[in-house]
Amino acid sequence: MMKIFRHHEGIPDDLKGSVIAIGNFDGVHLGHMGVIGEARRIAEAAGIPWGVITFEPHPRAFFQPNQPEFRITPLRAKSHAVAPLGADFLITLRFDVELAGLSAEDFVRLVLVNDLQIHHVVCGYDFVFGRGRGGDCQSLLAMGEKLGFGMTAVGVITDDNGTAYSSTRVREALSAGDLRGAASVLGRTYEIAGRVCHGEKRGRTLGFPTANIHFEDYMEPARGIYAVRAALDTIDDPVWMNGVANLGIRPMFEVADSMLEVYLFDFTGDLYDQHMRVQLIEYIRPEMKFADLEELTRAIEGDCIKAREILAQDLRRG
Strand, coil or helix: what is 288? coil
- Mean pLDDT to the nearest integer, 96-100: 94
Domain ranges of the chain: 3-154, 190-317
Strand, coil or helix: what is 304? helix
Q: For residue 8, what pLDDT band results from cuts at 50, 70 and 90?
A: very high
**Quick one: 3-154 is in which CATH superfamily?**
HUPs (3.40.50.620)
| pLDDT above 70 (res 37) | yes
Of residues 67 and 85, more confidence is placed in 85
Domains 3-154 and 190-317 share a fold: no
Q: Give the C-alpha separation, 235 to 232, whole Å.
A: 9
Q: For residue 313, what pLDDT band results from cuts at 50, 70 and 90?
A: confident
Q: For residue 162, what pLDDT band results from cuts at 50, 70 and 90?
A: very high
% of the chain beyond a pLDDT of 70: 94
* Topology, domain 190-317: Elongation Factor Tu (Ef-tu); domain 3 (2.40.30)
Give the count of alpha carbons within 13 A of 144, CB side only: 20
- Mean pLDDT to the nearest integer, 205-216: 80
| Burial class of residue 148 (count of CB atoms within 10 Å of its CB; 0-12, 13-18, 19+) | exposed
- Mean pLDDT to the nearest integer, 39-64: 95
Lowest mean pLDDT among 98-112, 125-139, 261-275: 261-275
Q: Residue 137: its pLDDT value, please?
A: 96
Residue 55 CB partners (closer than 8 Å, separation 6+)? 24, 92, 93, 94, 95, 99
Handedness of CA 197, 246, 169, 158 (dihedral sign): positive
List pLDDT tens digits, range 172-181: 999 999 999 9
The answer to whether 2 and 82 have CB atoms below 8 angstroms apart is: yes
| pLDDT above 60 (res 29) | yes
The answer to whether 25 and 36 have CB atoms below 8 angstroms apart is: yes
Q: Residue 208: its pLDDT value, please?
A: 83
Q: For residue 197, what pLDDT band results from cuts at 50, 70 and 90?
A: confident
| pLDDT above 80 (res 314) | no
- Mean pLDDT to the nearest integer, 175-204: 88
